Structure 1
């Protein structure tokens, strides 16, 4: 072999080594691993209440219907506004809404949302909207529409 061919062969081998190193170093720096995604749903009673434990109350222009519902601790009541006015479900006493947990509207309503698990919608719901509350304690809880307090109802929790 002459010197020119030897140098050319050495240069090709060197380029191949450097190219291979760069290719494998780049792949090692950014490993691709797939994380399996679980598509399991939470068990009933966790997160979203099952439809079996949801009682329905409609709010019409005449008031709440039915006016009295009886549920178990852990059950949810869904109040749906089908009226032409606003519906703000709030536990008695009007206007402070203290009967369920002892806190007032000023304490438990923050930016239109109830904090601390109290029975208060904390804002008016328009026609077609629904407010849900899951009862965590037994008792008889009278409530009203805060927007029109003459419209009342009762939830009995056993």
Structure 2
């Protein structure tokens, strides 16, 4: 046999062995999607957030269901005192009378009473928002 034939035979053998090794190696399964558990009455209650920026509340109108937990986040450097309307007696929905929320902190509360209620920053009553509770 000449050198070219031997060299070609070696290349063919290497390719065959490589093909067998690759074909027999274990394949990793593709990642499976994580299933989201179905919603039940116990988990149907939501936790929604109202953010105070120092100038206003975001969102301006929050629509939620009765029994939901609402979190007020003060991301500003200003003091916040969240209370329901009307100012200064805060009697529309006393669940909204959270009181002081210092800068960088948050407070949570649960709403029960259904209806549309307005709230404000007691320290600056022109800063207002609305919660619709279904």
Give the TM-score taking structure 2 as reference length: 0.64
Match of 1:57 in 2: 50
1:113-134: CA deviation from partner (whole Å, max 9, x where unpaired): xxxxx32123x22111112121
3-state secondary structure, aligned to 1:85: coil
- Structure 2: runs of 5 or more not aligned: 1-40
Q: Which residue is equivalent to 2:124?
A: 148
Q: Kindly indicate whether the alpha-carbon contact (under 8 Å) linking 2:51 and 2:59 is maintained by their aligned counterparts in 1.
A: yes
Q: Count how many residue pairs are aligned between Structure 1 and Structure 2.
A: 94
- Specify every segment of 5 or more residues in structure 1 that has no aligned partner in the other structure, as ranges: 1-43, 102-117
Distance of aligned partners of 1:125 and 1:72 in 2 relative to their CA distance in 1, 3 Å threshold: same
SS of residue paired to 1:88 = strand
2:77–2:104 Cα contact (<8 Å) kept: no
1:67-107, Cα deviation, whole Å (9 max, x unpaired): 10000000011110011111111000101101115xxxxxx
The list of structure 1 runs, each at least 4 consecutive aligned residues, that deviate by more than 6 angstroms after superposition, is none
